[in-house]
Amino acid sequence: LAFAIARPYMKETFAGLTQSDTHTIIVLDNSYSMGYKVGQMSSLDLAKKTALQLLENVKFTEQDRASIILMSDEPEFLIEPTNRAEPIKKAIDDVELSYLGTSFPKTAGLIKQAVDKTQNTRKKVYILTDMQRKGFEVDPIRNGSNGAGEKDVAELNALLKDISQKAEVYIVDTGNSEPQNRAVIDVRAENRIVTIKSPTTISLDIYNYTSTDIQNQPVELLIDNEKKETKYVFIPANTKTSISFRYEFLEPGPHSVNVSLENDYLTIDDTRYLTIDVKDSAKVLAVDGEPSEGRYLSGETDYYRLSLSPSESGGQFSLDIKTDLMFTAEGLDEYDYITLANVRDLSADKVERLEKWVKDGGGLFITLGDKVDKKIYNDLLYKNGEGLLPARLIDTGGDERHDNPLHLIETDYDHPVFNAFRQEGRKAALSAVVFYEFYKVDGIPKGEGSEENPNTSTNVLARFDDVDFSPAFIEKRFGDGRIALSTTTLDDEWNLMPGRAPYLVLMNEVGYYLSSRTLAYKNIRIGEIIQIALPNNLYAKQFNLVTPQGGFITLSPSPLPEQQKFILAYPGEKRDDVTPPNGGSDKIKKDTVPSKGVDTAGVYAIQKSGALPSEKPIAYFAVNVNPDEGNLERITPQEIKNRFPDLKCEFIGEGAKTGQGIEIKPPTSGIWKYILYAVLTLLAVESLLAWLFGRGK
C-alpha cells in the first residue's frame, strides 16, 4: 500500500521508443514562425535537437523504423520509413527554415498516409511545433468556399480519430512561451499609374503583435536596393499602423521596392517587397469618329485631349489621336488604354483584335453619339452580352431640342472612377452638370458573367434622372481588362459637361482607372509561380532569373505563335541545380526547389543571358511570405483538445522564455493507479473471506 501511495511511474514516452516493431513518425514544423530566436537557439533549432534526442532511443532494427514529415501549409515527406539511423539524423540536421506558413490540418493528411502505410505493430507520432494558433486553424479557403464549414471540420476530426485509433500521438511544444513580434504585413503603391517625375506614394502596414507600444521604430525605404529614406514611427500595442513614403522615379521601366524594420526575434517578416512599372506617361489611343473640321473645339476628342494633356510639355497621359478610318487595331500593345469616341462602326477583324487586347489586360473607353451604327455595335461589340459592349443599344433618348436638362443620380462614389467626387462640394458640382441626349440601353448582364466568359461582370456606376433612370455610365470586366461605357457624347453635342471642372476630373479618373493594369502577377506569394508573357521583339534563346541571393537560374522561352509572344516561367518543373552567382560551370545542389512555386522571398529579376550588369532587367518580381504567419499567438493544449475532440494525444514540453532550451516532461504511465487498485482489491477480498470464515464459526 505504501508503494502505491508513493505513486511510482515509468517514463513511458521514451522507454516505449525502445520497444521492438515500432514506427516512429517525426513531424517537424519548419514554417517561418519557427525562426523565432531568443538567445542561441530558434524554435526550429530546439525542435531539431529534440527530434534527435527522440531518435537516440529508437532501436533501428529490421522491425523498428522512423520517418520524417515537414509540417507547413505545403507539407511533404522528407524521409520515408527507414531502419537506418544515419540518413534520418542527417536529414534532421539539414532541415532549414522555410518561408511557408503553418497548417496542422493539411499536415494531418500526410500523417494519416504514413500511419496507414506502415506494417509495424506500434506507431508513434511526435509533432514538434511552436504551438502557433494559426497553424491549428482549419483552412479558411477550401473547395472554393469563403470559410471553414462544418463539413470541413467534421472531415478533419474523422481523419484525426482514425490516426488516434492507430497510433500514439504526442505534441511537443518547442516554441517560446511569450513571443513578441512586429511585422510588415503589406506594401503598395497608392498611385493607379506611376510616371516619372511625379510623386509616387508608397504605403505600408506594420502590425505590432506585442502588448507594448513601440517608440521610434525605424522604417527604411529602398528603391532598386538603394536606401532612400528612413522614418521613425510610433506603433501602438496590438495594432496595425500605416505609414507612407513619397518618392519620384526619374527613369521609366521596372523598379523594385522594399521596406524594412529593424530586425527583431523573427526576421523573415521584417521586410516586404514590391515591384512597380514606371512609365514616361500613360499612352492613350483616341479614335475620333467625328474629327474637327477646322473649327476650334469642334471635334469629338478636342475637349478630351485638353483634359488629359493640356500642354505640349507632357504629363501623366500622352494622346495619339486617329480618325476611325486611320484606326487599324494593329500594335495595340503599345497603348495603356483606348478610347472609341462616337466611332461609326468597326470591322469584325478589328473587334477581334480589340477583344484579345482587352482580355490580356487592356482598358477600353467607349463613348456614343449620332455617328454610331447601333446594329453593328450590337452585332459585333455587344454579342448578346458576351462581347466588349457592356449593354445593348436601343435608341437615342432625352431631348433633341435641349429644353429639358437631365442630371446624374445614383452615382457610385465608392468606385475609382467617381471616388474623387465623394467630397460634398465636388459631388454637388458633378450633380449640377447638364445632359440632354443619350443612348438608351438594355441587356445589362447581372452577376459575375457566364460559363463561356466567367471573368466578366457588369455594373451601372451612374444613371440619369429621366423617368426610366437610364444608365449613364457602365463598366464591364472582360478577361483581365476593363471597359467603361458612357451613353452620351465625349464632346458637348449632347451635354454641357466638357469645359467644366467635373469633366476634367472625370476624364482623368477614367484614364487612371483604365490604364492601371494589375501587377498582381509580378507581386506574388511564396508557393506561386513566376510567369510573364513577352513580345517577340524581346526574344532570346535563354534568359536568366536572378535570385535574391545573387545567383541565377536559366529559363528557356515557350513560344505563343498565335499571340506573337513567348512565355517565361519558374518553376516549370522540379530542378536539381541552380547556376552560382559567378556564372561558373559548377552547380549548386538545390533539391528543395519546389515544382509548385517559388520557395524563397525577395526580389527576382529577369534578364537576357549575357546581359551586362549595367543593363536594366526586363522585369522584376516581388515574392512575399504570408503575413498571417507573423502572428505568433499561441494555442493551449486544452484549446487543441476542444477544437479537435477526436484527436487523442499527449502534450509534452513547455515553451521556454529564453529560447535556450526546453524541458520535456514525459507523460507517466500511471502504474501507481494499477498497484493501488490491486491493493484495494486484495483488501476487499481479504475482508470478504474474513467475514465468511468468521460467520462459519
84-127 pLDDT, tens digit each: 889 999 999 999 999 999 999 999 999 999 999 988 899 999 99
293 or 559, greater pLDDT: 559
Contact in structure between 254 and 225 (CB atoms under 8 Å): no
- pLDDT the model gives residue 12: 46
- Residue 582: how many CB atoms within 10 A of its CB? 8
Give the tens place of pLDDT for each residue, 564-590: 889 999 997 443 333 333 333 333 233
- pLDDT > 70? residue 80: yes
Percent residues over pLDDT 90 in the chain:
69
The residues that bridge with 278 in the sheet, in sequence order, are 253
Give the tens place of pLDDT for each residue, 615-674: 899 999 999 999 999 999 999 999 999 999 999 999 987 655 444 455 554 445 555 555
Q: Which of 55, 56, 96, 53 is nearest to 78 (CA)?
A: 96
CB contact set of 644 (below 8 Å; sequence gap of 6+) = 136, 156, 157, 160
Residue ranges of domains in the chain, CATH in brackets: 2-178+632-672 (3.40.50.410), 180-280 (2.60.40.10), 282-515 (3.40.50.880), 525-630 (2.60.40)
What the block records as the C-alpha cell of 305 is 485631349
Report how far apart, in Å, the C-alpha atoms of 300 and of each of 125, 308, 309, 464 are: 74, 14, 15, 22
Lowest mean pLDDT among 52-61, 165-174, 234-243: 52-61
Gap between the Cα atoms of 111 and 291, Å rounded: 71
Gap between the Cα atoms of 344 and 368, Å rounded: 9
Gap between the Cα atoms of 339 and 483, Å rounded: 10
> Mean of the per-residue pLDDT values for the chain?
86
- pLDDT the model gives residue 447: 52
Gap between the Cα atoms of 433 and 630, Å rounded: 50
- pLDDT the model gives residue 516: 85
Report, as an integer, the average pLDDT of 543-564.
Answer: 90
Q: pTM (2 decimals)?
A: 0.81
- pLDDT > 70? residue 82: yes
- pLDDT > 80? residue 2: no
DSSP for 195-211 reads BTTSEEEEEEEEEE-SS
- pLDDT the model gives residue 697: 55
Contact in structure between 238 and 208 (CB atoms under 8 Å): yes
Give the tens place of pLDDT for each residue, 151-198: 678 889 999 999 999 999 999 999 998 999 999 999 999 998 899 989
Report, as an integer, the average pLDDT of 359-367.
Answer: 94
- pLDDT > 60? residue 147: no
Identity of residue 438: F
Lowest mean pLDDT among 308-317, 423-432, 481-490, 512-521: 308-317
At residue 614 the predicted structure's pLDDT band, cuts being 50, 70 and 90, is: confident
Gap between the Cα atoms of 348 and 325, Å rounded: 15
- pLDDT the model gives residue 19: 52
Rg (CA), the chain: 34
| Peptide bond before residue 548 is cis, with ω within 30 degrees of 0 | no
Q: Based on the number of CB atoms within 10 Å of its own CB, is 658 exposed (0-12), middle (13-18) or buried (19 or more)?
A: exposed
Report, as an integer, the average pLDDT of 344-362.
Answer: 93
Report, as an integer, the average pLDDT of 200-217.
Answer: 95
Q: Which of 411, 428, 421, 435 is nearest to 508 (CA)?
A: 421
- pLDDT the model gives residue 123: 94
Report, as an integer, the average pLDDT of 434-444.
Answer: 95
CB contact set of 258 (below 8 Å; sequence gap of 6+) = 187, 222, 225, 271, 272, 273, 274, 603, 622
Query: Long-range contacts of range 484-487, CB-CB < 8 Å, 24 or more positions apart?
Result: 484/363, 484/364, 484/365, 484/366, 484/417, 484/510, 484/513, 484/514, 485/366, 485/367, 485/368, 485/389, 485/390, 485/391, 486/365, 486/366, 486/367, 486/368, 487/368, 487/391, 487/438, 487/439, 487/440, 487/441
Gap between the Cα atoms of 285 and 43, Å rounded: 57
